Amino acid sequence: MSLPPFISALLLVVAASTSLGPDASAKPKPQRGLGHLETVTFTSRALPGKRSYEVWLPPERVSTKKADKPAPLPVVVLLHGLGGAGRDWFDPALGGLAASLDQLVGTGRLAPFIAIAPNGGNGYWTDHLDRPHLRYGAFIDEAVADAERRFHGSGTRALVGVSMGGHGAMSRGLMAPERWSAIVSIAGALFAEPPTHRKIYKEVWGFPADAAHWKATAPMALMAAVDKGHLPPIFLHCGKSDLDRFLDMTMAADERLRSLGVEPELVLTDGGHNWTTWSGINERWLVWLDRALLKTRP
What pLDDT is recorded for position 135?
A: 97
Could you tell me if residue 7 is inside a domain?
no
Share of the chain above pLDDT 90, in %: 79
Backbone phi and psi for residue 142, each to the nearest 5 degrees, phi listed first: -60, -45
Write down the pTM of the prediction. 0.88
Could you tell me if residue 142 is inside a domain?
yes
Count the domains in the chain: 1
Could you tell me if residue 96 is inside a domain?
yes
Mind listing the pLDDT tens digit for each residue in 73-113? 999 999 999 999 999 999 999 999 999 999 999 899 999 99
Could you tell me if residue 26 is inside a domain?
no
What pLDDT is recorded for position 114?
A: 97
Mind listing the pLDDT tens digit for each residue in 222-250? 998 888 778 999 999 999 999 989 999 99
Could you tell me if residue 154 is inside a domain?
yes
Amino acid sitting at position 76: V
- Give the residue-averaged pLDDT of 267-275: 98
- Give the residue-averaged pLDDT of 243-272: 95
| Strand ranges across the sheet with 182-186 | 36-44, 49-57, 114-118, 73-79, 153-162, 182-186, 234-239, 265-269
Enclosing domain of residue 76: 31-294
CATH code assigned at 274: 3.40.50.1820
Q: pLDDT category, 259, cuts 50, 70, 90?
A: very high
Could you tell me if residue 234 is inside a domain?
yes
Could you tell me if residue 260 is inside a domain?
yes
Contact yes or no for 36/62 (Cβ under 8 A): yes
Could you tell me if residue 2 is inside a domain?
no
Mind listing the pLDDT tens digit for each residue in 193-221? 999 999 999 999 999 999 999 999 999 99
